[in-house]
Amino acid sequence: MFQRCPAQALTWISRRRAFRAPGRAKGALPCVMRVLVLLALLIWTPAISAAADSFYAGYRSLVSWRPGTDIRLDAAVWYPTRTRPGTVKAGAWTFSAARGAALLPGPWPLLILSPDSSGSRFAHHDLAARLAGQGFVVVVLTHDGDNADDMRFLYTNLHLPTRARQLKAALDLVLADPQLGKAVDTQKIGLLAFGGGGSAGLLLAGATLTPHLWAPYCASPALKSGGIPDPYCEPRMAAHMDGITRGMLHQADAIMEATALRDQALKARAMTMARARDNVNKNAARLRRGQRRPLTELPAPPVFTPLLPPLPAEHALTDARFRAMMLISPGYSMLFDPNSLKSLNLPLSLVGLDRDPLHRPERQALVLRELLASSTAEYTLLTGADGPALQALCPPDMAQDLPDLCRTVSPGEREALHRRLEGLIVSFFQRAFR
């Protein structure tokens, strides 16, 4: 039916007055309108396609140091932008991103990414860039005291609480940033955490650690009857766990002692202030009796307030601003209070890695999943993966120095795993943020 349409369109263009004259060809105007619509589609469709293709990953850094809390933050941020990416060099790492590009107006969902202890803020740059290209702002930390260059908190009682405080501080930093804070949807904030970061995430969600659960763990009948040994019970790791729980018990005793001292100091201060008030009242009465004229007011005596001992260290780590969490190969399942896990009510996704030599899924992620409320938690097993396989391809120098860490899978296997993981992440957080 469009065979005569071009001729009619040309006639209309060259003789526009013909459409106002009697006897014009029927159907000419509708035909011309169809042509104009088709031309508009031809013009705008490439523009729409180009706009979709130009949705890229911007990159910038965030650094902060809080002397009062001794929290140092080194973070890398990936975010949606229209600027085409270039090559970014950051230390030993080289990756593709639009450095310093303009952030597209939001609001965008925010993911705080906590890498495993072997990682840094660049260890997941490929994953972060892909997520930014799908409309997420992704903030990746180098955890001070728990990274490839500095592991002073690893296998100590400070490991998980310090990570949790750093994640809270990172969220504070992002929300206070003049550009990022305005572009983030505060109702869609999630945690994406690997290894120890996943365990710290449970603290942020409201779970608590109980050191008393460790001592009977390796001798429990349930563990022995399973037929699969737990690497946590092997001599070297068991010694680490003994040290961790001793530190936790010592810290708990220190908090109780500090709390008791402060309570005593508060009572002593109240008694001191009561005596001071009594003395002031007695002196005032004596002065009034010695005066011929009634005193209308008395000078206020100087007030001495006894100093108090410091408050106990902060131990409440829950942060309700995190609305959903994906925890990949978490550990320390035997230290979490089961009742505190049952009370968690935010969407949680636990991912087990079948090649993780320490955090074996059947002893860690799956156990935690069974302890969580079934209505809020889900579990996925990612086969063929360990922790390092989910990180970006190592820089050449690192690959040469750390072959056992950098070459646990082939480049092709790494790419396939990253694609699968990306799909899990996007699917979970899209469902959680509805």
Cβ contact 342:370 at 8 Å: no
Task: Report d(CA 389, CA 207) in Å as an integer.
Answer: 28
Cβ contact 168:143 at 8 Å: no
The pTM of the full predicted model, rounded to 2 decimals, is 0.78
**Residue 54: is its pLDDT beyond 60?**
no
Task: Tell me the pLDDT tens digit for each residue of 258-292.
Answer: 778 878 888 887 888 888 878 878 877 777 777 66
Task: Tell me the pLDDT tens digit for each residue of 60-72.
Answer: 999 998 776 778 8
Query: Residue 313 to residues 206, 264, 361: CA-CA distances in angstroms?
Result: 17, 18, 33
CB atoms within 10 A of CB 245: 19
Cβ contact 80:55 at 8 Å: yes
Query: Residue 152 to residues 117, 162, 428: CA-CA distances in angstroms?
Result: 11, 11, 33
Give the pairing of strands 377-382 and 348-353. parallel
Task: Tell me the pLDDT tens digit for each residue of 115-174.
Answer: 999 889 999 999 999 999 999 999 999 999 999 889 999 999 999 999 999 999 999 999
Task: Tell me the pLDDT tens digit for each residue of 387-409.
Answer: 999 999 999 999 999 898 899 99
